[in-house]
Amino acid sequence: PKYVYEFAEGNKDLKDLLGGKGANLAEMTNLGLPVPPGFTITTDACRYYLENGRVPEGLDTEIDEKLAALEAAMGKRLGQADDPLLVSVRSGAKFSMPGMMETVLNIGLNDDSVRGLAAQAGNERFAWDSYRRLIQMFGKTVQGIDGELFEDAIDAIKQRKGTTDDLDLDAGDFKELVQTFKDIVAEHTGEGFPSDPREQMRQAIQAVFDSWNAPRAVLYRRQERIPSGLGTAVNVCSMVFGNLGMDSGTGVAFTRDPASGQQGVYGDYLQNAQGEDVVAGIRNTVPLADLERIDPASYRRLLDIMETLENHYRDLCDIEFTIERGRLWMLQTRVGKRTAAAAFRIANQLVDQGLITLDEAVGRVTGDQLAQLMFPRFDETAERTRLGRGMNASPGAAVGKAVFDSYTAIKWSRSGEDVILCRRETNPDDLEGMIAARGILTSRGGKTSHAAVVARGMGKTCVCGAEELDVDTKNRRLVAPGGQVIEEGDVISIDGTSGEVFLGEVPVVASPVVRYFEGEIDPASDSSDDLVRAVHRFMQYSDAARRMNVRANADNAEDAARARRMGAQGVGLCRTEHMFLGDRRQLVERLILADTDKEREESLAALLPLQRDDFIGIFEAMDGLPVTVRLLDPPLHEFLPDITELSVRVAVAESRGEKHENDLRLLQAVHRLHEQNPMLGLRGVRLGLVVPGLFTMQVRAIAQAAAERLRAGGRPCPEIMIPLVGTVQELEIIREESLRVLREVGEEYGVTLNYPVGTMIELPRAALTAGQIAENAEFFSFGTNDLTQTVWGFSRDDVEASFFSAYLEKGVFGVSPFESLDVDGVGRLIRIAVEEGRRARPGIKLGVCGEHGGDPASVHFFHEAGLDYVSCSPFRVPVARLESGRAAA
């Protein structure tokens, strides 16, 4: 196989092979944009290396050939003593992993070529600075030496010279540093720094391969659900220099604002600096717009290129560029990461500009992003004490206790605290702390700094570059310009949308997107936010495109009404046990504990009117739309007193010589009914079969409520659903009773109550015998919560808190199967049940009402599996609408 591609040989569609960076460098090269020449080593080579511990046969020869071609094109050889070609060696995986893997710059320098470089550039300082950077980067990333050792050496020189600024160091200082660095390397490796340029390159390439499995890269991939087997490509690119003087520099640009999506010129520029200085957020940058003043010709050229790229990629692009003595070079581009709001706005703008179709636009926004837009934001009318302001790097409203290092962020968040991670700047080692924190605040670095890029990728609130806030990590405190001191543990609020930082907890209000869904904002009115207009447009498109209906899980009239405003087309699950919480719990307790028929009938009679009135409210809220009412499904323990507490109470009373008859009786009953494993015990249809009159009471309440609604001129559409059925016999008994009650109540009221009776499919046996079950069910609703629990043998109440984090860490699965449907296992059973159910009863209505009904990936599966609807919590209804549309489009 071919392992090495010149830039001109690739294109943007070869990301699997060349990685994102390599594929896009190739694309830019072929667009005729100024890209320094170079070549890309494929991900195949990396995978081979990682599997076999050595590079594939022939790779070195291929590299030699491409290097020779590069040298011929540039008219100089790698490390040539009088005029060296220098190269960078950069990682570049298929999916961008900002700062997670390695890069080595200035390869080709040694004691000889450094002099050649100095002579060619006419700049001693530059040459020796470049050389010490090479030894430093090489030592740290290739030879695994602690980076602090190099930093300390630089600090020592600065201290001696009485300065804190790198720019005050001269050629002599860098020469001295080169020697010091070489000594450090020799001491820590025994081999020293390799002076042979080709050897430098060989080792750097392997180090990039190795960095694919660096702990922080592994963690990042798990977070972002990037498969671990992809490997990285390696880009070898001839160096251009942004650190040749004030007429040189380096920068990052976006074709639109990645935070808000607004059009304009966005980016950061740093004069007299090299590559990583900008992204690392080490020195403070100037806004890109300032480049117009600094170097107008390059600025115009850059704007031109940005337009070319946007039109070509038909999307927001982000760009890294370098200006070497007034000449502009493109070092990278890619379709850029963006916030949820920017994603919606940009897709909408591109449709308006005629660059993409509405169909493509809807493909570019996700349900997860929509969910983010529905988060609350800070109340602007609340009284607030502003501590300061930084850049609005990643939107959202985060409140938490200030912490000043990642370790504390992780520790505190594990014990249930919300924390805001405050740093001067973040680096890739802070990743875990960033994941643990509610939000991130930095005092240095621009919108393209590590903190900003990573936070946006994670959808985490971030304010960066808040220079007026003095983040003092040593003393674990933050000092505001107003003199307020925030100690570790003090609560602050950060607004990633405005960049503001507030003292204490600021109250939050609903987002405009939620207010739009609630019908409080008219998207057609002129004043409405363009974000709301974009959401509206895409929702309309999805609603028209989707095949599946979207219903809501709602247990009371208020939730049902809200769900309907959010676009729900009915209730897919009304959990009647939720109607028995609070005061009514005692009624259920009495029912379960009843010793005599009389006692039981009394409790049932007391429950009936309460149930009926609840149903009336829900049917009214969903008038004309189906409401699936599930008969009682409590694992008994949810309704009985806790056995330990009750035992203690009885024992204490006894020790005092008292005797509480009621408690004693209760305790006996609780003992009798106690289950080791209540989730697999007496619940669902089993309860209906052993507690006489319970389910018929509920069906009667449904029937009476429907009859009342009919009398009032309404259009109730109840569906009666039996939970936890494992075999058709269970269903048959309850179904016959239910139909009888419907008939009886219909006769009492003089109306026809002809409502479907169906079942949940939430046990493996039900799925496997769906053909039989369908003969007695007019509909199926997949209860994927219990189905996941029983297919995996995972207790849904226990496992997530107990060992799932270990499972996620070890990569057993990338996401909990309770969150996102396990397509291979649980999904397979669903497919079987769909097929056999439809065969037995063509036209049977099929839905899902487990938590997965509102999960984007699962919604796509349900669409493919051929379900008629999904049902989810009211706030997820818009997400499910959008994703059902995207799945169908």
Q: List own/partner pairs for 483-491 with CB under 8 A and 24 or more apart.
A: 484/385, 484/387, 486/387, 486/402, 486/422, 487/402, 488/401, 488/402, 488/403, 488/404, 488/408, 489/401, 489/402, 489/403, 490/401, 490/402, 491/399, 491/400, 491/401, 491/402
DSSP character string of 353-370: TTSS-HHHHHHTS-HHHH
State the amino acid at position 670 in one-letter form: V
Smallest gap from Cβ 762 to Mg ion, in A, equals 5
Copy the structure tokens of residue 876: 């997820």
Place of tokens 């609340």: 382
**Distance of closest approach, residue 821 Cβ to ligand PEP, in angstroms:** 11
The site for Mg ion (CB under 5 A) is made up of 762, 783, 786
210 touches ligand PEP (CB under 6 A): no
Whole-angstrom Cα distance, residue 478 to residue 35? 43
- Name the residue among 719, 741, 722 with its Cα closest to residue 732: 722
Q: Which stretch binds ligand PEP (CB under 6 A): 51-59, 453-461, 697-705, 778-786?
A: 778-786
Say how many C-beta atoms besides its own lie within 10 A of residue 695's C-beta. 22
Closer CB to ligand PEP, 492 or 849, in the complex: 849
Q: Which of 130, 784, 790, 884 binds ligand PEP (CB under 6 A)?
A: 784
Whole-angstrom distance, CA of residue 199 vs CA of residue 18: 23
Is the Cβ of residue 361 or residue 770 nearer to ligand PEP in the bound state? Answer: 770
Q: Using the structure block, give the residue that is written with the tokens 């009495």.
A: 590
783 binds ligand PEP (CB under 6 A): yes
Active-site residue identified among 317, 574, 849, 872: 849
Site string for ligand PEP, 420-449 (x = CB under 6 A): ------------------------------
Residue 312 burial by Cβ neighbours in a 10 Å radius (0-12, 13-18, 19+): middle
Counting contacts by CB under 6 A, is residue 786 touching ligand PEP? yes
Query: What gap in Å lies between CA 734 and CA 714, rounded to an integer?
Result: 27
CB of 698 to ligand PEP, least distance (A): 15
Residue 201's nearest CA partner among 349, 54, 79, 92 is: 79
Tokens in use for 730?
A: 């269970």
CA-CA distance, 374 to 372, in Å (whole number)?
5
Nearest to Mg ion of 569, 759 (CB atom) = 759
Known catalytic residue at 450: yes
Q: Does 821 bind ligand PEP (CB under 6 A)?
A: no
CA distance 30 to 28: 5
3 state SS of 649? helix
Distance between CA atoms of residues 723 and 734, nearest Å: 11
Which one among 785, 835, 838, 889 touches ligand PEP, defined by CB under 6 A? 785
Q: Which residue(s) pair with 478 in the sheet? A: 471, 486
By CB atoms closer than 10 A (0-12, 13-18, 19+), residue 766 is buried
Closest-approach residue to Mg ion (CB): 786
Q: Is 20 a residue that touches ligand PEP (CB under 6 A)?
A: no
The site partner of 575 among Mg ion, ligand PEP, none (C-beta below 5 to 8 Å per kind) is ligand PEP
Among 107, 244, 409, 573, binds ligand PEP (CB under 6 A): 573
Give the nearer residue to Mg ion in terms of CB position, either 436 or 573: 573
DSSP H helices, 713-803, are 728-749, 764-768, 770-774, 784-792, 799-802
The Cα–Cα gap between 553 and 629 comes to 10
Smaller CB separation from ligand PEP, 473 or 785 = 785
* Least CB distance to ligand PEP at residue 606 (A): 24
Q: At how many degrees (to 10) do helices 826-840 and 856-865 cross?
A: 30
Q: How far is CA 455 from CA 208, 394, 434, 436, 840, in A?
A: 24, 6, 8, 12, 51
Q: Which of 573, 569, 838, 622 is nearest to 722 (CA)?
A: 573
Check if the beta carbon of residue 246 is closer than 8 Å to that of residue 271: yes
Q: In the bound complex, what is the minimum distance in angstroms from residue 854's beta carbon to ligand PEP?
A: 12
Q: Which range of residues in 90-98, 240-248, 506-514, 779-787 is near ligand PEP by CB under 6 A?
A: 779-787
Q: Which is nearer to Mg ion, 17 or 770 (CB)?
A: 770
How near is the Cβ of 811 to Mg ion at its closest, in Å? 29
Give the Cα separation of 466 and 423 in Å (integer): 10
CB of 377 to Mg ion, least distance (A): 35
In the complex, what is the shortest distance from the CB of residue 54 to ligand PEP, in angstroms, rounded to a whole number?
Answer: 50
Diameter over CA atoms, the chain? 105
The residue from 79, 499, 850, 885 that contacts ligand PEP (CB under 6 A) is 850
Beta strands in 336-460 (DSSP E): 377-378, 386-389, 391-394, 397-403, 419-423, 439-442
Contact between 686 and ligand PEP by CB under 6 A: the answer reads no
**Residue 573 interacting partner from ligand PEP, Mg ion, none (CB closer than 5 to 8 Å by kind):** ligand PEP
CB of 850 to ligand PEP, least distance (A): 3
849 binds ligand PEP (CB under 6 A): yes
Q: Kindly tell me which of 120 and 785 has the beta carbon lying closer to ligand PEP.
A: 785
Length of the chain: 889
Q: Of these partners, ligand PEP, Mg ion, none, which one is at the site of residue 430 (CB under 5 to 8 Å by kind)? A: none
762 binds ligand PEP (CB under 6 A): yes
Contact 870, 572 (CB under 8 A): yes
Q: Which is nearer to Mg ion, 496 or 783 (CB)?
A: 783
**Minimum gap (Å) between residue 631 Cβ and Mg ion:** 12
Nearer to Mg ion, 113 or 789 (CB): 789
Select 783 or 878, whichever has its Cβ closest to ligand PEP: 783
Out of 46, 237, 422, 450, pick the active-site residue: 450
Q: Is 464 in the site for ligand PEP (CB under 6 A)?
A: no
Q: Which of 862, 868, 871, 870 has the alpha carbon at shortest distance from 838?
A: 868
Q: Which does 310 bind (CB under 5 to 8 A by kind): ligand PEP, Mg ion, none?
A: none
What is the pattern of x (binds ligand PEP, CB under 6 A) and - over residues 622-661?
A: -----------x----------------------------
Looking at beta carbons only, is 546 or 551 nearer to Mg ion? 551
- The reply on whether position 575 binds ligand PEP by CB under 6 A is yes
Q: Does 791 bind ligand PEP (CB under 6 A)?
A: no
Site size toward ligand PEP, by CB under 6 A: 10
Min separation Cβ 849 and ligand PEP, Å:
5
- String of contacts with ligand PEP for each residue 705-744, x by CB under 6 A: ----------------------------------------
Residues in contact with ligand PEP by the rule CB under 6 A: 573, 575, 633, 762, 783-786, 849-850
Residues taking part in catalysis = 450, 849
